[in-house]
Amino acid sequence: MILNFIDGQYREGGGRIFNDINPVDGSLITHVSEASREGVDDAVRAARAALAGPWGSLKLAQRCDLLYAVAAEIDRRAEDFLAAEVADTGKPRSLASHLDIPRGAANFRVFADAVRNVPTEAFTSHAPDGKPALNYALRRPKGVVAVICPWNLPLLLMTWKVGPALACGNTVVVKPSEETPATAALMGEVMNAVGVPKGVYNVVHGFGPGSAGEFLTTHPDIDAITFTGETRTGAAIMRASAAGIKPVSMELGGKNPAVVFADSDLDATIAGLTRSVFENTGQVCLGTERVYVQRPIFETVVAKLADAASRLKPGRPDDANANFGPLISAEHQQKVLGYYALAREEGATVVCGGGVPQMPRDLKQGAWIEPTVWTGLSHQSRTAREEIFGPCCAVIPFDTEAEALRMANDTRYGLAASVYTRDIDRAHRFASALKVGVVWVNTWFLRDLRTAFGGSGSSGIGREGGVHSLEFYTELSNVCIKFNGATE
Ligand code: NAD
Ligand code: 6OD
């Protein structure tokens, strides 16, 4: 059974026992112990105590050394993390081994470096009597941070928040998704192995409303909430946080466009689109679900993208011939299939996919889905406007740059966009006019972790990454010291 990790110990959470299901074949991986309100209380209390205890008195360099040790221990136990992540998500081992697990370790190193290198601002000013005063900024940890995570990149997205939160001296209570509790739980062993003091890293398992998610985000002794997940959940958490005036960081959904100009390098474009539409079975917040293609190459791009989709091979994570996993759950499969039906009702031509693939008998209970490409959909259709979070896209033609820009920006979301062109002037012009937090030109997902990450509109509030994470995970105080002895 997967247990909660509270105050350095694995223990039952006092709530129900729920199932952790393998999306590949619907089998039971293990049971999970849900944290009750009291269980969450215990975790928050442990996190509060650790702040005042050994964690709070560590020097910055010692804290950073510990975070480097955490990263090294994740590397050392990469096979265990890989097995846990792949069982929970069903994603190909090759994907998890080159993306999820190494990024889990990198998130501790990058933010240890970032916090070591952040400069302190200082200004001199003058008092009315002409004496000088030195103003300088002090950074303190926010305190106890609630970290609420989704299921699509469980370790990567959890450490993306825990790394900087700990680097800044906070303690955390993590609530992983009920679909993917395993790697957050395993991190408790890592923390203990390298000597992170007890109570610094805590994990409570469970669901959202009426469960650990709600108990944590409404807890009066939480100092800040950092959330990644659906926009609607983000709104619920913001409502919950309003009562306590808690700072929130919100990394939410998207309906990200890719814009392909006729002058683009076609092979590189298809390679980029194939990843951004289908990687992780389309379950990436930054993934592309709207593809606008300039008319002269429209048919070619559609044919090549459909061809690439048809080459994706669903199968077990450790099947060396397979490169395409299932969706996270039967419930999510039903949601995505609902959009596949809606697309047809809205007049889509299904160029490829559109249903559930034929799978061998032992995989029939898995949450499998076909990678799908549509044409013929209006830019105004619900299929082209609502986040599906599946391996599918609507391909829509355009004639002019202005028309492409108008459609790309015509959304309530504002997370990411990709542009494919060989024209560097156009790349700059288009990138600066896109209303999104992350723009890629001729690539996708590539990112220096020191850069700002986040979205606008319904895609979120705030930015994390590099110094932007340090802004969220610290409180700034200005100290003004007057030098009374000085004359000018
Ligand atoms: P979700 O919102 O359903 O759940 C996310 C987490 O919130 C889970 O741990 C869940 O248990 C918890 N939760 C749910 N209701 C809650 C409540 N009322 N109070 C407290 N906690 C609650 O999201 P998901 O289905 O796990 O993930 C997919 C969504 O996440 C997609 O919309 C995707 O775009 C988004 N996402 C965004 C980013 C980003 O960086 N912007 C990254 C990954 C995923
Ligand atoms: O790369 C990252 O750090 C990041 N936050 C990616 C988010 C992916 C969303 O599914």
Q: 448 burial class (0-12, 13-18, 19+ CB within 10 angstroms)?
A: exposed
Q: Is 394 helix (H, G, I), strand (E, B) or coil?
A: strand
Residue 151 CA: which ligand 1 atom is closest?
A: 26
152 lines ligand 2 (CB under 6 A): yes
In angstroms, the first-to-last Cα distance of the chain is 71
Tally Cβ neighbours within 10 Å of residue 359: 16
Please report which confidence band the pLDDT of residue 16 belongs to, taking 50, 70 and 90 as the band edges.
very high
Q: Which tokens sit at 71?
A: 């990263």
- The answer to whether domain 256-441 has CATH 3.40.309.10 is yes
Q: CB–CB of 50/143 below 8 Å?
A: no
Whether the model pTM is above 0.95: yes
- 73 has catalytic annotation: no
Average pLDDT, the chain: 97
pLDDT at 487: 55
Closest CA to 227 of 176, 265, 271, 277: 176
Band of the pLDDT at 486, cuts 50, 70, 90?
Answer: low
Assign 139 to helix, strand or coil.
strand
Measure the CA–CA gap between 186 and 182, rounded to whole angstroms.
Answer: 6
Confirm or reject: Cβ of 252 under 6 Å from ligand 1: yes
Residue 153 near ligand 2, beta carbon < 6 Å: yes
Whether residue 454 has its Cβ less than 6 Å from ligand 1:
no
Distance between CA atoms of residues 90 and 368, nearest Å = 10
Average pLDDT over residues 316-321: 96
Q: What are the tokens at 47?
A: 């996190």
CA of 397 to the centre of ligand 1 (A): 32
Any idea where the domains of the chain sit in the sequence?
4-252+459-478, 256-441
Rounded Cα gap, residues 341 and 72, in angstroms: 47
Q: What is the largest CA-CA distance in the chain?
A: 87
| 464 Cα nearest atom in ligand 2 | 5
Distance of alpha carbon 33 from alpha carbon 35, whole angstroms: 7
Q: How many CB atoms lie within 10 A of CB 251?
A: 26
Q: How far is the CA of 95 from the centre of ligand 2 (A)?
A: 14
Q: Could you confirm whether 34 is annotated as catalytic?
A: no
From 64, 149, 168, 285, the catalytic residue: 285
Q: Which fold has domain 4-252+459-478?
A: Aldehyde Dehydrogenase; Chain A, domain 1 (3.40.605)
CA distance 183 to 74: 10
Catalytically annotated residue among 251, 289, 387, 464: 251
Q: What is the pLDDT of residues 23-77, one digit of tens each?
A: 999 999 999 999 999 999 999 999 999 999 999 999 999 999 999 999 999 999 9
Q: What is the pLDDT of residue 78?
A: 98
